[in-house]
């Protein structure tokens, strides 16, 4: 069930309508081509020699047997890479390892052969010898002064630190009449997209090294490829066709440079396709966090929040220096707390590099702060809805960083709408939770909710830019007949091309069907930035809207075509600033999206097994460009959030090697694990700077799911589960601990 409520505004032709996705027909008919579907006459195949060692020095690399195999075209090593470095923010990774490997997913060599079978055979003939180096897998241990260094020459394994100071948290804690302290943990998580990494490389008609690949930021891929090959960027081209999911996992380079290197060295087309096991073993994961929360309340109001966040960066920096600040900025939730102290750090280990994943640092803290909020509500004898509403932000509320919340604050409305739909009723200023008797089979029902928020767009002083070019065909009167939109917004499955087509159609007064959105090709479509940070609706939507306005201003009778290009820069509209190093004061983000979700669960008190029976999701989207696509996003977000909550965990062995190798060993929810009852509610509190008031949505809809489920488990069986995933064994152990505590007379969990 889906519903939308919004303030009255002028009718629009395209924006706000549930039009069909512009890529739907191609996908349904099986005509959509993904990177693995592309080929070239005479192409070769490439396979990677992976290290498998979590921390070691390469002492020998013998490629002679592989190179001598008939049909092998080349065996490339670090000596073949002109500039052996890459990285999204810092170039601290090697394309092909030359000396030290720091996690099991590092590439050592690339074998290129005339057939895929020959490439596999030759890969297995490459011999690498290693000298083991000390291993550090625990980020807490990695912080110790005597811990072995992951990167020689660095002062410690702590890659970066941040802090926020607002008010006097120690004084407020000392004066509080209620203080609650707890520690929470979230694990490594796999992106688990449907399409493993694949790419085709060739030299195009202009002599450019060209890769056809799934990437989230094509122009930045070009930057990194050009740097590694020591080529000017104009000599490199990336084409992005249909993408089988991304969730942040395709923002970092995976095989792009290796494919480009193979083409650069052989001058023949080369194709590389990873297996599922290679995909899971050799690309980054969601950051694990240890989160320590000590909050205080006085007179029934939250007065102090002291938070410590420790994130595991894994072996390399990737986007950690952007992810963890995001976590810092949301660490206390969308709540007014006058005294706040936050300390955070990110630490190198020999685990897989951790990187962008749906939420980008804002998915981990709600697991802590939403359970913590519920603990205060219980301790104070107050309903969790009522308690939240008294503390949630309003327009003009001040963030812990000292700056006002960006306009368009719909968080309270999402809570009211979600709670009402889940069965809460309002009695004056109080909210009353519905009674949920046990099920006939003896399982206990529980109802929980969680409220969360996420930034939209890039933050902390970054110039978040997107460029759109529109070409409009006119009739003899100068009225638009059809349009073509050129913008390098990678369509990773979230519907961005449809949203941008609707924005263009609205601005041009056309039917959506008359707007053609061109596929991404870095030589033809201008840089739109990354398909991440839930940013394209707001950032690229503004670029498209303004490009259409400029095009319409050029119309004249007898003129048959107009064209306009516009670059939207967030800093010109709503400037952000970076953390002050001493106080953390800043204006962190452009705008926010808010979400509240309620979960009803059934918990088996004997086994600890959890079934999610019902979910309610209410999200403030500013303006629903396409309500039907929002419903699809909500379904996908809940699916990912439920996996995070109760089953997904990427595991390593004690020796640092991968335990979770494929989907038979990594549990992902199926349709049978999804709730049969799902209510989707769109709340529209416009952002005046957004295109037609829109904000964005892609990541927000998975963020409160896990804490809502955890709070529902607590409601059902009376125990807190402070670590994800809350699978049967973990829930059972929590119940057993509570029973043992009660039997010993030491009390039960609050």
Contact between 539 and 522 (Cβ < 8 Å): no
163 part of a folded domain: no
Round to the nearest angstrom and report the end-to-end CA distance of the chain. 35
Look up residue 11 and give its two tokens: 């009718």
Q: What share of the chain is helix, strand, coil (3-state, %, to 5)?
A: 30, 30, 45
Residue 650: DSSP 8-state: -
Kindly state whether residues 671 and 723 are assigned to the same domain.
yes
How many angstroms separate the CA atoms of 96 and 102, rounded? Answer: 12
Contact between 191 and 357 (Cβ < 8 Å): yes
Q: Report how far apart, in Å, the C-alpha atoms of 501 and of each of 130, 155, 634 are.
A: 53, 50, 21
Residue ranges of alpha helices (H) inside 230-282 are 256-266, 276-282
Among 540, 573, 606, which residue terminates a domain?
Answer: 573
Contact between 334 and 392 (Cβ < 8 Å): yes
SS3 115: coil
How many angstroms separate the CA atoms of 523 and 527, rounded? Answer: 10
- Provide the residue range defining the domain that includes 528: 2-32+463-573
Kindly state whether residues 661 and 690 are assigned to the same domain.
yes
667 part of a folded domain: yes
What's the whole-model pTM score? 0.96
Q: What is residue 742's predicted lDDT score, i.e. its pLDDT?
A: 86
How many angstroms separate the CA atoms of 76 and 112, rounded? Answer: 8
Nearest in space to 212 (alpha carbons), one of 195, 230, 237, 229:
237
Report phi then psi at 450, rounded to 5.
-150, 140
Q: b/e string for 96-123 if b means 16 or more Cβ within 10 A? A: bbeebbbbbbbbbbbbbbbeeebbebbb
Angle between the N-to-C axes of helices 256-266 and 218-229, in degrees from 0 to 180, rounded to the nearest 10 = 50
696 part of a folded domain: yes
Give the CATH number, domain containing residue 477: 3.30.365.10
Kindly state whether residues 451 and 490 are assigned to the same domain.
no
Q: What is residue 745's predicted lDDT score, i.e. its pLDDT?
A: 73
Kindly state whether residues 490 and 539 are assigned to the same domain.
yes
Note the pLDDT tens digit of each residue in 140-193: 999 999 999 999 999 999 999 999 999 999 999 999 999 999 999 999 999 999
Kindly state whether residues 469 and 447 are assigned to the same domain.
no
Q: What is residue 741's predicted lDDT score, i.e. its pLDDT?
A: 87
Look up residue 377 and give its two tokens: 């509500």
382 part of a folded domain: no
Look up residue 644 and give its two tokens: 């995070």
Kindly state whether residues 522 and 639 are assigned to the same domain.
no
Kindly state whether residues 430 and 481 are assigned to the same domain.
no
236 CB burial (10 A radius; 0-12, 13-18, 19+): buried
Among 539, 573, 607, which residue terminates a domain?
Answer: 573
Kindly state whether residues 476 and 518 are assigned to the same domain.
yes
Q: What is residue 13's predicted lDDT score, i.e. its pLDDT?
A: 86
* Regions of the chain where pLDDT drops below 50: 4-11, 748-750
Cα angle 473, 479, 482; round to 5: 35
Among 547, 573, 599, which residue terminates a domain?
Answer: 573
559 part of a folded domain: yes
How many angstroms separate the CA atoms of 626 and 386, rounded? Answer: 32
Structural domains of the chain, count: 2
Residue 537: DSSP 8-state: I
315 part of a folded domain: no
| Pairing mode of beta strands 480-486, 515-517 | parallel
Kindly state whether residues 657 and 702 are assigned to the same domain.
yes
Kindly state whether residues 416 and 524 are assigned to the same domain.
no
Kindly state whether residues 505 and 426 are assigned to the same domain.
no
Kindly state whether residues 747 and 620 are assigned to the same domain.
yes
520 part of a folded domain: yes
680 part of a folded domain: yes
Q: What is residue 6's predicted lDDT score, i.e. its pLDDT?
A: 43
């Amino acid at each position: 069930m889906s519903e939308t409520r919004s303030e009255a505004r002028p009718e629009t032709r395209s924006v706000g309508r549930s039009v069909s996705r512009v890529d739907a027909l191609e996908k349904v008919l099986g005509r959509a081509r993904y990177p693995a579907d592309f080929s070239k006459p005479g192409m070769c195949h490439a396979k990677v020699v992976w290290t498998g060692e979590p921390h070691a020095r390469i002492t020998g690399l013998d490629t002679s047997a592989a190179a001598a195999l008939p049909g092998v075209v080349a065996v490339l090593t670090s000596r073949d890479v002109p500039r052996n470095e890459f990285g999204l923010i810092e170039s601290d990774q090697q394309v092909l390892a030359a000396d030290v490997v720091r996690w099991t997913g590092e590439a050592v060599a690339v074998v290129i052969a005339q057939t895929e079978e020959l490439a596999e055979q030759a890969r297995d003939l490459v011999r690498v010898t290693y000298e083991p180096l000390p291993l550090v897998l625990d980020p807490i241990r990695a912080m110790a002064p005597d811990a072995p260094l992951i990167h020689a020459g660095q002062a410690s394994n702590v890659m970066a630190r941040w802090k926020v100071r607002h008010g006097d948290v120690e004084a407020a804690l000392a004066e509080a009449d209620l203080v609650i302290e707890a520690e929470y943990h979230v694990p490594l998580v796999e992106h688990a997209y449907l399409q493993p990494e694949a790419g085709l490389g060739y030299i195009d008609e202009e002599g450019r090294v060209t890769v056809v690949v799934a990437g989230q930021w094509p122009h930045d891929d070009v930057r990194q490829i050009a740097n590694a090959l020591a080529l000017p960027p104009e000599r490199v081209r990336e084409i992005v066709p249909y993408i089988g999911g991304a969730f942040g996992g395709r923002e970092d380079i995976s095989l792009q440079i290796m494919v480009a290197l193979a083409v650069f060295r052989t001058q023949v087309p080369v194709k590389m396709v990873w297996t599922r096991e290679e995909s899971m073993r050799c690309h980054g994961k969601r950051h694990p966090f240890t989160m320590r929360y000590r909050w205080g309340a006085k007179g029934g109001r939250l007065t102090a929040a002291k938070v410590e966040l420790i994130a595991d960066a894994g072996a390399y920096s990737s986007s950690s220096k952007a992810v963890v600040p995001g976590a810092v900025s949301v660490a206390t939730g969308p709540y007014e707390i006058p005294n706040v102290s936050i300390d955070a750090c990110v630490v190198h280990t020999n685990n897989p590099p951790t990187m962008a994943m749906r939420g980008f640092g804002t998915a981990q803290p709600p697991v802590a702060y939403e359970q913590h909020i519920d603990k205060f509500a219980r301790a104070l004898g107050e309903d969790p809805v009522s308690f939240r509403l008294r503390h949630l932000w309003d327009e003009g509320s001040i963030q812990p960083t000292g700056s006002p919340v960006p306009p368009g604050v719909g968080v309270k409305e999402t809570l009211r709408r979600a709670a009402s739909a889940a069965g809460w009723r309002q009695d004056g200023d109080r909210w009353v939770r519905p009674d949920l008797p046990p099920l006939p089979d003896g399982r206990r029902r529980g109802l929980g909710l969680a409220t969360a928020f996420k930034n939209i767009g890039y933050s902390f002083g970054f110039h978040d830019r997107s460029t759109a070019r529109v070409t409009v065909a006119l009739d003899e009167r100068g009225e638009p007949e059809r349009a073509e939109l050129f913008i390098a917004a990678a369509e990773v499955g979230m519907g961005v091309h449809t949203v941008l087509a609707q924005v263009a159609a609205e601005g041009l007064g056309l039917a959506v069907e008359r707007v053609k959105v061109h596929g991404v090709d870095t030589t033809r479509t201008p840089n739109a930035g990354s398909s991440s940070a839930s940013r394209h609706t707001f950032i690229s939507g503004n670029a498209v809207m303004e490009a259409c306005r400029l095009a319409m201003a050029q119309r004249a009778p007898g003129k048959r075509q107009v064209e306009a290009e516009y670059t939207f820069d967030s800093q010109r509209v709503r400037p952000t600033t970076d953390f002050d190093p001493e106080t953390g004061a800043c204006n962190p983000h452009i705008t926010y999206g808010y979400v509240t979700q309620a979960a009803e669960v059934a918990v088996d008190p004997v086994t600890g097994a959890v079934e999610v029976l019902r979910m309610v999701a209410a999200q403030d989207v500013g303006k629903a460009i396409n309500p039907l696509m929002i419903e699809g996003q909500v379904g996908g977000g809940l699916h990912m959030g439920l996996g995070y909550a109760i089953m997904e965990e990427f595991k390593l062995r004690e020796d640092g090697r991968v335990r979770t190798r494929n989907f038979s060993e990594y549990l992902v929810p199926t349709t049978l694990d999804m709730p049969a009852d799902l209510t989707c509610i769109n709340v529209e509190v416009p952002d005046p700077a957004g295109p037609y008031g829109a904000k964005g949505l892609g990541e927000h809809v998975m963020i409160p799911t896990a804490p809502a489920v955890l709070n529902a488990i607590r409601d059902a069986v009376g125990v807190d589960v402070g670590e994800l995933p809350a699978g049967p064994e973990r829930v059972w152990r929590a119940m057993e601990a509570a029973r043992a505590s009660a039997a010993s007379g030491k009390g039960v969990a609050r």
